[in-house]
Chains A and B, each alone.
Chain A
Amino acid sequence: MAELTLPRPARRRPLHIGLALGLLGTLLFALVLARQPTLAGPDAPALQQLLLWHSLLPRAATALLAGAALGLSGALLQRVLRNPIADPSTLGIAAGAQLALTLAMAFAPALLAFSREGTAFAGGIVAVALVLAMSWRRGFEPVTVVVAGMTLSLMAGAMSAALILARGDYVFSLFIWGAGALHQQNWQPALLVGTRLALGAAAALLLLRPLDLMTLDDAAARSLGAAVQGMRLGIIALAVWLAASVVSQVGVIGFVGLAAPAFARLGGARRPGALLLASPLIGALMLWITDSLVQLTASDGGDLIPTGAAVGLLGGPLLLWLLPRLPVSAPRQPMATGHTRRLRRPGRALVLLAAGALLMAALALLAGRDLEGWALATGPLLAELAAFRIPRIVAAAAAGGLLGAAGAIMQRLTGNPLAGPEVLGVSAGAGVGLAIALTLSPAPSAALLLAASAGGALGALALVLLMAAWTGFAAERLLLCGIALGCTGLAILSAVFAAGGPGSFRLLAWMSGSTDKVGANEAWMLAACALVLLLPVAVLGRWLDILPLGAGVSASLGVPVGASQLILTLLAALMTGVAAFFVGPLSLVGLIGPHLARLSGFVSGRAFVFASALIGAGVLLLADWLARMLAFPYQLPTGLLAALVGGPYLIWLLQRGGRRHG
């Protein structure tokens, strides 16, 4: 990597940029103030006063203070984890806090009355503890940390979506709030966030010296006498508290914590002191400017999109633009495991796997619950049930197979076992495609939706690859691009939810992965797609063997690197788009299938992809069957169930993967 480090960019003038941003913010806020309708009538001046003092000014203050708190939180996390892309949203803190609040609202409202902030803090702490536990063994390696955080965020998001679906409109308003709306009626949120910010800033000031030491690696810091682990935990708790207090007051506002320190660094802040001072300032300005823009574009009915979603919309591309400029400081770790199991006869094992998947399908077809209890369907009952069960079984198997294969191809393409359609933002892209189709067409046909989903996935993956090509196809950057894109996609989706309308519930149902609406036509269409997309893999096995060795080796062996990557990418994107249409974006099957295939010892590219596909099909069949059976006579969303099974497995896997590295 050393030869890729470019000469340092010429030092900017951070002060000038800051002043310009401040001016821009003031100007926009002045516009917001000027845009207020002049009220007629005798009470007008008083009303205007009221509006100014109790809505506009507190809103601006909340934006500034929340932005500053998030900026400080991000700067602390990035420093302490030595990870340039850590922030409350990529570490799952925000999603965890949100889920805790949603759960509390649905099941224990008294908890919220007692302490919103405490509830959010508990959720955030649990999330960050899980993420850190997942990446502990890999020494908090930046990409692992963020992949774990993103996975957790996605799972928490799926659970929130399922909860909203189950509780209907009651919690739906929570989702709008969840996308970070900054409307204010009084000064209380601003005061609360402000006091937390002041306390946090004071604590950060005291921790300045230890933070300086943390720049070194652990061993060096320890040898200089710093109590590394204790200090690290303390600083993380401080950062989580700052973020949770923001979430509890105004909802999830992503990217500020990520972008503010990054901008500070681009502006030339290097020492922890300068970073910790500049990040909150930049974060405050960012959120203030975005919020003013949101207010300026608002129609009479209210804001077009919540501010949090707007920050995501602006922040995602920003992150994409930043990525090539951020040095990936951590040395590339060999991802391969020290001593892997390998199969003597992969062919025979594949046949066994296929038989297992068939058995699972037969079980799903025959076994079920009726009002009296468990029953095996036979004879006329089977004929009756088959019309309902077969389409679902076919669709689940096809979607699982496609996701498994797509994940396997992406892992080979990036040479990284953490890559997958869910992590790379491809599923979120499919969701954006769906959202566009649902918004534009009042009653879209299934074929149109399928095409929109595949188109969205293709667009997302094309963007990721374009970015990767621009940055030289380093696997880490590909992953990061995908993650940024996934965040942007989810932000767009929450903006669409917040807009309401008939499409919203359909989209929510899709997000949580409900499969009960699948008809025979759709199922067979999906099966045909699966067949068409899986067949080419049979002849592309050699590329899948060579490409993981990196672009250098591939090129020197005469593999057409660009063309082969393009073809495989196209395949993977189509697979994901088609499958995600059926099971939603969050199933994690695309990660689990390939992992299990690796663990079972499939090494050669072709066998690996087909084994992943078969395992994926089996897993999704199982999830679909469980979704029908667990809460009989109700049905749970299949995708959610797969995510709930897959998430913990992934945690365990990340743990285990690290141990082998010692």
Chain B
Amino acid sequence: MVDPARPAPAGALWSLCEVAFTLGERAILSPLTLDLPAGRVYGLIGPNGSGKSTLLKMMARQLAPSSGELRFDDRPLGAWSGRAFAREVAYMPQFMPASDGMNVRELVSLGRYPWHGALGRFSPEDEARVEAAIQRAGLAPFRERAVDSLSGGERQRAWLALMLAQGARCLLLDEPTSALDIAHQMEVLAILRELGGEAAGGPGQAGAMTVIVILHDINLAARTCDALLALRGGRLLAHGPCDEIMEPERLRAIYGLDMGVMAHPVSGTPMSYVL
């Protein structure tokens, strides 16, 4: 979905400086400093209540940080106008709202709002982008079906298609696989994997999208992502390539469980198991 001519930025796409979020007395997220280069798939992992969703929401401008600053493409988030930011960053909330009778094509068309605005014409290019997004998410047969009549997995893919139609450089997804069975999980994650580099010839290449995704299943995260960010109790415990995170010591620190790691019998990627 990304214009291949656009070069990957030299510096980090995201930079967070001492970003924190507190609710009353309680620190949901302790001050966090982090740089994320473009063109990779990042997995946010950690137990429930570790601040993953809060972090993602702050990146999506759904929540304002209590202190610290987030910068996207070297500009503070507050300096972006609503539509300009939506052309760069697409966000999928954990719970998708009901879409009241809309069919798939209409829902996906809403993703073009950042480009045409309230009054602009719905151009042939918009049309083409919507169609491409529907194809990409494998929803062509459901184009005219009401979104509410789809199964959970198909609905999740319809929202993914909306994000694709948005034409953003960066996707933020909060548990996109939560409602899916294993086959559909793999399908969605494969799409993310492709967007995040494989189609463009590898992670970090020009044309690869930046994907930041919250996943509960650590093994699926390790399979899909280039790097993992592990949170616990509002602190960033570890950050690095998957095989650095997938170590028994680290995993115990993250989940508070004794865990072992072995290589996947076929692909060789690390897999964890509870001892």
Contact = CB atoms under 8 A, between A and B. Distances in A.
Interface of A: 3, 6-7, 334-340, 342, 415, 539-540, 542-543, 545-546, 548-550, 552-553, 555-560, 564, 598, 601, 603-604
A7 B25 contact: yes
The main secondary structure of chain A at its interface with chain B is loop
Contacts of A555: 61-62, 82
Cβ-closest 7 pairs across A and B: A558-B86, A558-B83, A336-B98, A334-B98, A556-B91, A558-B114, A340-B101
Nearest to A546: B110
B54 interface: yes
Interface string B90-121: 11010001111111001000110110011100
A543 B98 CA distance: 16
A330 B26 CA distance: 25
Contacts of B114: 557-558
A549 B99 contact: yes
A542 B99 CA distance: 14
The main secondary structure of chain B at its interface with chain A is mixed
A335 B98 contact: yes
A542 B120 CA distance: 10
A134 to B, nearest CB: 21
Given A340-B146, A553-B97, A555-B61, 16 more contacts: A6-B23, A7-B24, A337-B148, A338-B148, A340-B148, A549-B97, A549-B110, A552-B62, A553-B93, A556-B61, A556-B86, A556-B93, A557-B166, A558-B114, A559-B118, A603-B100
B255 interface: no
B131 to A, nearest CB: 19
A558 B85 CA distance: 7
Contacts of A340: 100-101, 146, 148
15 contacts: A7-B23, A7-B24, A338-B149, A339-B148, A339-B149, A546-B113, A549-B97, A550-B93, A556-B86, A556-B91, A557-B86, A558-B81, A558-B83, A598-B101, A604-B106
B24 A539 contact: no
Contact of B87 (A540, A553, A558): A558
Contacts of A598: 101
B141 to A, nearest CB: 18
A556 B99 CA distance: 16
Nearest to B93: A552
A7 B26 CA distance: 8
Contacts of B81: 558
A560 B82 contact: yes
Contacts of A601: 101
Contact of B82 (A6, A334, A539, A558): A558
A337 to B, nearest CB: 7
Given A555-B62, A556-B90, A342 B103 contact: yes
Interface centre among A334, A539, A557, A601 (most CB of B within 10 A): A557
B119 to A, nearest CB: 6
A340 B81 CA distance: 36
B60 interface: yes
B53 interface: yes
A542 B118 contact: yes
A360 B54 CA distance: 55
A498 B8 CA distance: 73
B54 A3 contact: yes
Nearest to B122: A542
Interface in B51-81: 53-54, 60-62, 81
A549 B86 CA distance: 16
Nearest to B148: A336
B24 A337 contact: no
Contacts of A552: 62, 91, 93
Interface residues of B, number: 39
A342 B104 CA distance: 13
B213 to A, nearest CB: 15
Contacts of A546: 110, 113
B110 A342 contact: no
Contacts of A539: 118-119
A144 to B, nearest CB: 16
B74 to A, nearest CB: 20
Contacts of A543: 118
A559 B97 contact: no
A545 B110 contact: yes
B185 to A, nearest CB: 23
A249 B172 CA distance: 62
A564 B93 CA distance: 21
Given A6-B24, A549-B97, A603-B106, A540 B113 contact: no
A560 B117 CA distance: 10
Nearest to A540: B118
Nearest to A556: B91
Contacts of B102: 545, 603
Contacts of B117: 542
Nearest to B92: A556
B113 to A, nearest CB: 5
Contacts of B110: 545-546, 549, 557
Contacts of B91: 552, 556
Nearest to A560: B82
A339 B54 CA distance: 34
Contacts of B62: 552, 555-556
A337 B149 CA distance: 9
Contacts of A553: 93, 97
A598 B100 CA distance: 10
Given A540-B118, A557-B111, A339 B146 contact: yes
Given A342-B103, A603-B106, A415 B146 contact: no
A2 to B, nearest CB: 10
A548 B106 CA distance: 14
A609 to B, nearest CB: 14
Contacts of A550: 93, 97
A661 to B, nearest CB: 11
Contact of B100 (A3, A6, A548): A548
Nearest to A8: B24
Interface string B25-43: 1100000000000000000
B64 to A, nearest CB: 12
Nearest to B54: A3
Interface centre among B23, B98, B119 (most CB of A within 10 A): B98
Nearest to B115: A558
Nearest to A336: B98
A558 B167 CA distance: 13
A336 B99 contact: yes
Nearest to A601: B101
A558 B113 contact: yes
Contacts of A415: 97, 100
A339 B61 CA distance: 33
Nearest to B81: A558
Nearest to B61: A555
A26 B86 CA distance: 61
A557 B98 contact: no
Interface centre among B85, B89, B110 (most CB of A within 10 A): B110
A600 to B, nearest CB: 11
B202 to A, nearest CB: 29
A555 B83 CA distance: 9
A338 B25 CA distance: 42
A337 B146 CA distance: 11
Contacts of A564: 118
Contacts of A342: 101, 103, 146
Nearest to B149: A339
B57 to A, nearest CB: 8
A543 B117 CA distance: 9
A194 B76 CA distance: 66
